[in-house]
Chains A and B, each alone.
Chain A
Amino acid sequence: MQILKSLRVKPWLPVEFEQQTSQATGLLNKEKAASTALHFLLAVITVIFFLFTVTFLQRTQSFDFQALSGEPWLPFTNAEILWQNSAYLLLASISIMLAKKFAERQSLSAIMISLAATTLFTLLFISGQIQVWLQLNQSGFYITTNPANSYYFLLTGVHALHIIGGILVFMRCILLFAVNRSYQQLVSRLKLCARYWHYLFFIWLFLFFLLTSDADTFKTIASICGF
C-alpha cells in the first residue's frame, strides 16, 4: 500500500526529505503517461458499461421483458453469427498484438500485413454487427418492440462506437508511422492500441453473454444482485 504510506508522509519535516524526492524523479515517460491516460479512459468506459448493465439487469425483471434467447423462435437461441463476429474481433486483437511484435523486430512487411489484418477484421466485426441489426429488424425484433431489443441495439451500438473511435486512433498511429518511420514510437503506440482492443474484446464477450442470456439466467443474476 505504497499510496497509503505516501499519504501519511509529513511533508514539512526535512527528515523525510530524501525519501520523498526519490518518488518524484522529474522525468517524463511519454509512454507511461499515455498508458496512465489509457487506464483512466478504460475506467470511464467501464463505468459507462457498468451503469448500462445495472439498468439492464433491473429492466430484465420487469413484466414486459422478453429475453432474446431460450425459446426456439428467439433470435439468439442460435447465436452462430455472434460467435462469428466474436472471432473477427479476437483475430483483430491477435493481429494487433502481432503487429507490435513485428514492430519490435522492425520487419516492415510483416507489420504492414498484420496492420491490414487488424483493420480488416475490425471492419468485419462492425459489418457483422450491422448484419445482426438488419436481421433482427427483418424478423420483427425492432428496437422498440421490447426492452431486450432496445438494450441489444443500444449496447452493441455504444460498443461499436467505441471500436470506431479506436480505429480512428489506430489510423493516426499508422499515419504517424508513415511520416516519421519511428519503430520505437510505433511499438509503444501499438502496445496501447492492443490493450484497448483486448479490453473492448472482453467487453464484447461480456455483452454477448449478457444480451443473449435467457430469462432464467437473468432471474438468477438479478436475485444474486438483489434486484
Chain B
Amino acid sequence: MTIAIVIILLVIATLIFHFVSPWWFTPLASNWQAIDDTINISLWVVGTVFVAVNLFLAFVIIKYRHNKDRRADYEPENSKLEAWLTVVTTIGVAAMLAPGLVVWGEFITVPENSEIVEAVGQQWHWSYRLPGKDGKLGKTAIKLITEDNPFGLDVNDINGSDDLLVNSNELHLLIDQPVKVLLRSKDVLHNFAVPQFRVKMDLVPGAITNVWFTPTKLGRYELLCEELCGIAHFTMRGFIKVDSASDYQTWLASLPTFTQTLTRDSANIALGKQLYAGCAACHGINGQGNEAMGAPKVAGLSRWYLQRQLHYFKEKIRGQNSADLYGQQMAAMSVLLADNKAITDVSAYLSALIPTKKSPFEKTSSENTLVTGGDAIKGKSLYKNCAYCHGEHAQGHYAMNAPKLAGQHAWYLKRQINAYQQGIRGTHPADLYGNQMVLMSKILHDQQAVIDVVSYINSLPNVK
C-alpha cells in the first residue's frame, strides 16, 4: 500500500520538479529551434506514458493487493489486447521518430551559402583557420606541425598561403550567416559543442568532420570539448563570439595570413637588449629577478610566453586587478615597449639569455623558509597533474601553451598560483589560457599544498 502511494507521490514530485525546475536548456542562439521543438514533442509523449504507466501501476497495486479471501485470475494471454497495445506503441514511437528524422535530414544537409571555418582541437585548447580571400583552405599534415607552423599547413599548397590563422581560443562568427565548421584534431578525439547552439560533433584525428549552424544572437558563447580527451579535458574551453557585420570585418582584418605568420617574426636581439635596459632595474641586469621588487626571473623563458604576457600587460589583460600590486606596476611599465616589434625584440633577447645556474643564484630568506616549509615529496605527487602540460622537468612546452617553471623563484610561483586561485590572474576574457590555470590551480586545496608543489618545482634542475 505504501509503495502505491509513494509511486503516486513520485509521479507528482517528478512533474512538479519538471515544471518548477530553473534548470533547463540555456536560451537558443542558433537556427536550431527545430531541435528544441522535437525535444518538447518527445517530452510530452514520454511524459504522458510515464504518468500513465506509473499511475496504472499504483492503481493496480492498491486494487489487487493481497486479500486472503480472493484468488488471482488465471489468464495466460489475451492476443487481442496485446495486438492492440503493440499497435498503439508503434504509433507513439513513429510519432516521435518521424519529426526527429526530418530534423536530422536538415542537420546533415549543409546550406549552399554556408561560410567555411576550420576549428582545430588539440590537448587542451582550440585554434581556428579561415579560408581567406580564395575561399579555399590549404592542405595540412600532422608531420608539418612545428612551433612556427602550428596548423601544419603545407607551404607548397597555393590555397593555403592566404588562409587566415586564429592562434587563439576565440573564434568570431558573423550573425545570421550559416557556417559550416570543419573539425580537425591534431591528437585525440575532441568534441565541438556550444550549448547555446544545440549541435555538436566529434573531432576525429585522421579525418575531417563537420557541423553547421547559423548563429542568430550576438554574444560570446563558451565552446566546450565534450569528448573525454585526457586529464585536462575539463579545461578545454574556447569561445565563439557572434559579431555584427562591422565588428566581424574589424576582426577579420586583424588576422594574419599563413604567409605573414611565416615571415613577420624577424626579431632584433640587439634592439631587444637596449630595450631591456629599462626593465633591468627590477628584473636584474641578467634577468635573474629580484624578490624585493617582486620581479620574477625572465631570463631563459620561452619567447612565445614572454611575448604573450607582455601583450597582456600592455593591453590591460593582465595586471588590472587591484589586488595585484606587482602586476599593476608591470602593466604601467609595459608602456616602455612601444609596439609589437619592441615586444618581439625584447622577448627574443630574454629567451636567448642563458639562465643563471642554480648554485650562484642567491636564495632570499623568504625563499628558504618557503622551500624548507614545503614537502617536495608530497609536491611531486601533486605536480604529476601539472607535468602533463609543463613537462616532467617543468621545462615548459609551446604546444601546450605551458611556460617553463623550473628555475623560477619559489616566491613568484607561489604568488602566481595564489593569484590564479583567487581569480586575480587568468580571469580576463581575453586571457586565452589563463582560465585553464584558474581551473587547475584549484586542485591545490590549501596553502601547504601550494608550498609543497612549489618546493618540488624548486628542486628541479633548470634545464633548457
Contacts and interface: CB of A to CB of B under 8 A. Distances in A.
A12 B76 CA distance: 7
Nearest to A12: B76
Nearest to A13: B76
A10 B77 CA distance: 10
Nearest to A11: B76
A16 to B, nearest CB: 12
What DSSP secondary structure best describes chain A's contact surface?
A: loop
A12 B77 CA distance: 10
Contacts of B76: 10, 12
Report the contact-size class of chain B (Cβ under 8 Å from the partner): under 10
Interface in B435-456: none
Contacts of A10: 76-77
A63 to B, nearest CB: 11
Interface string B64-81: 000000000000110000
B143 to A, nearest CB: 13
Contacts of A12: 76
Nearest to B76: A12
Nearest to B206: A62
Nearest to B75: A12
Interface in B56-111: 76-77
A17 to B, nearest CB: 15
B120 to A, nearest CB: 21
Interface in A1-47: 10, 12
Interface in B274-308: none
A196 B77 CA distance: 45
Contacts of B77: 10
Interface string A68-107: 0000000000000000000000000000000000000000
Nearest to B77: A10
B463 to A, nearest CB: 31
B195 to A, nearest CB: 34
A12 to B, nearest CB: 4
A12 B37 CA distance: 48
B432 to A, nearest CB: 35
A12 B75 CA distance: 10
A150 B76 CA distance: 57
A10 B78 CA distance: 12
A161 B76 CA distance: 50
A134 to B, nearest CB: 32
A180 B172 CA distance: 82
A10 B76 CA distance: 9
B23 to A, nearest CB: 42
B9 to A, nearest CB: 38
B73 to A, nearest CB: 13
A12 B78 CA distance: 13
A41 B76 CA distance: 37
A10 B79 CA distance: 12
A20 B288 CA distance: 93
A163 to B, nearest CB: 35
Interface string B198-213: 0000000000000000
Interface of A: 10, 12
3 contacts: A10-B76, A10-B77, A12-B76
Interface of B: 76-77
**Closest 3 A-B residue pairs measured CB to CB?**
A12-B76, A10-B76, A10-B77
